[in-house]
Amino acid sequence: MRKFILIVMLALTGCQSAERQASPPSSTTTAPPAEAKADNDRFSVHIAVPRQVQINEPFKIDVELMNKTDREFNIMTGKPVFYYVIRDSSGRTINAITRNDIGVVRPMTKNEALSEQQQYRFRSPGIYEITAVARFTVQDGGSGNDYMMETDAKQIRVVEPSSGVGDSSQTE
Minimal CA–CA distance to 15: which of 101, 111, 104, 136?
Answer: 101
What are the pLDDT tens digits along the chain (172 aa)?
444 443 434 333 333 333 333 333 333 333 344 344 445 678 999 999 999 999 999 999 999 999 998 888 898 988 888 989 999 999 999 887 776 667 788 899 998 999 999 999 999 999 999 999 998 888 877 678 888 999 999 999 999 987 445 554 555 5
What tens digit of pLDDT does each residue of 77-114 get?
888 889 899 999 999 998 877 766 677 888 999 989 99
Q: Say whether 6 sits in a helix, a strand or coil.
A: helix
> Which domains, and CATH codes, for the chain?
2-159 (2.60.40.2360)
Minimal CA–CA distance to 16: which of 119, 102, 84, 131?
Answer: 102
CA neighbours within 13 Å on the CB side: how many for 153?
14
Name, in order, each residue with C-beta under 8 angstroms of 32's C-beta and a sequence gap of 6 or more. Answer: 40, 147, 148, 149, 150
Q: Say whether 33 sits in a helix, a strand or coil.
A: coil
d(CA 10, CA 15): 7
